[in-house]
Amino acid sequence: MIEREQAEANRQMQMIETCRERIRQKSKKMGRPLTYHISTFGCQMNFKDSEKLAGILERLGYLAVETEEADFVLLNTCTVRENANQKVYGHLGQLKSYKKKNPDMMIALCGCMMQEQQVVTRIKERYRFVDIIFGTHNIYKLAELINNRLSSDAMIIDIWNDAKEIVEDLPTVRKFSFKAGVNIMFGCNNFCSYCIVPYVRGRERSREPEDIIKEIQQLVSEGVVEVMLLGQNVNSYGKNLEHPVSFAQLLQKVEEIPGLKRIRFMTSHPKDLSEELIQVMKHSDKICRHLHLPIQSGSTRLLDKMNRRYTKEQYLMLVERLRTAIPDLSLTTDIIVGFPGETEEDFLETIDVVKKAEYDSAYTFLYSKRTGTPAAVMEDQIPEAVAKERFLRLLSVVAETSAKRTAALVGQTVEVLVEERSEQDASMVTGRLSNNLLVHFIGEDTLIGSLQNVHLDESRGFYFLGSLA
């Protein structure tokens, strides 16, 4: 970590201690511990951010609760799709009633949605009961922002357009003790025409490899066996460093860490996936046999309008290279249905890619117009009924190809990281294969966090039923 980033981390730790004393006094006055709740919307990076925010709140003395009827409620927002915004406004309506019952309650909003000026203006005008608003670049300042709010009667708004420092060395509360997400970069330079992310997350900034390795070594010492390397486009990692390092080279460094059993990463942009990365994955003992490779559309014409910078043919050639080098690779993707100007012929091109790529699963989305993106003002916006009909057809094809892929694994015995008790059947635990698919099998809580050999007895399309081998 460079000097100014360490200095800022130290300053924030001092701010945490200052604020902690104020929270202690408030708790003493109320005669009980103060509670907090974080509601997280969106991607893996948001969930990673929420772990950091939880770490700060717990260091301040707050106790986590499952309900939003808490003393401090934080909504970590997403703005990739319109319905994500609407969910946040719905939560705010409920929080208003909670705050009437508990006037000392504090409500904070952060994340991508807060980087949009029109959103902040709307909250200032219609939701005056909100206490703190901050964005994606300064989440490490939470204690400082709380301290400012405790010293003021006014709403605290702290939105940055970008950030130079990457401040990571602060408290964190992880959901799992045995696996963890690790940020390797922030922001995105791709500016896909439908996507708001570069505008709200900023331009690409990579962390120094030494800092990443140090963090993972610390996680392993705490019992972590699997890490997920996170970035909007991990394949372009390291290009903006003073001493450039490729993503493939970073993976090789991570693989050398003793005690680490599994390495995952997301998300990969097809245009930046190198032969070097394919070879590193092929020969790795720790990189999981799963790659998330968003196609978005199978139509070269639409891919050009989306500013994806590859063609259908180039994408399928990449898939073929991956399948040849790593035959047991599980491939997943993102697909948008109903992008402006999409014709039936364009949609059938997408279906063709799904059939040829044979995805293990796909995250499928109806196009959502995001104000401020080039696609939002494009002509030929697709009628909702047409998009939904295509969406349902796509789901059917994805389910068919997924069932084919998973059925081929039935009867095998595979290594599984046991993650948690099954939500559907209390007698079962849930584990994740190297290829990222889930298996449910009868087991004790003592298995959670361990790697076990499991026989895949039955395929249920997107998951398996199995038994301990």
The pLDDT tens digits for 347-369 are 999 999 999 999 999 999 999 98
pTM for this prediction: 0.89
* Gap between the Cα atoms of 110 and 89, Å rounded: 13
Mean pLDDT check: name the lowest of 198-202, 279-283, 285-289: 198-202
Task: Report the pLDDT value the prediction gives residue 84, as an integer from 0 to 100.
Answer: 79
DSSP per position, 10-34: HHHHHHHHHHHHHHHHHHHHHTS--
Pick the closest to residue 209 from 166, 158, 172 (CA basis): 166
Q: Which residue has the tokens 């190809």?
A: 401
Task: Report the pLDDT value the prediction gives residue 73, as an integer from 0 to 100.
Answer: 97
Mean per-residue pLDDT over the chain, rounded: 94
The pLDDT tens digits for 19-75 are 999 999 999 999 999 999 999 998 888 999 999 999 999 999 999 999 999 999 999
Q: Is the pLDDT of residue 201 over 60?
A: yes
Q: Which residue has the tokens 């201690």?
A: 17
Percentage of the chain beyond pLDDT 70 is: 99
C-alpha distances in angstroms, 30 versus 16, 22, 23, 62, 256? 21, 12, 10, 13, 51
